[in-house]
Structure 1
């Protein structure tokens, strides 16, 4: 469960009612109690919460937007598709410009066979 001081500090600039703060706390606690333990490396010596910092921050932002009534899942989906297309096309252009295939594919989170297919190899 998140510590109350963490929640208070995180919500410092938010203008929330006590009911909204309670709902935010419920949501982030639910995330910590269900999502975090389900991670494949959770409970192993290799587990590091720092590896998931972006995901955890995104969850807290989503919880805040939900309680504020500004959450827009469709916009998030469109942003994800746009980011994926940007990485894919960037990888293609980088290889066409002479960059090595394997490191370019890794950096763009695409497979090397996919990248080779896109450039006609």
Structure 2
């Protein structure tokens, strides 16, 4: 088995739009077939968990979206306003027992 000639990795495309990445790879390696797979979960929020017990909500989200990291946060705590696509925050009531707001990705 001989090694493939030419470029085989494109770390500079990490975070790029899918169409741009595909076009770049096809331009640089026209002899290869580019198949792009994009992880896309249709579910971005869990309104059905509003008022649920926190442990039930966490288990549900982890089961339905296993690639996300779930954070439990009391609703009066200060958080950053950045958007992280594989993060879900569960904001709880002051006693940490119940989901206070609809859990959402970000």
Q: Under a length normalisation based on structure 2, what TM-score does the superposition of the two structures give?
A: 0.28
More strand as a share of residues: 2
More helix as a share of residues: 1
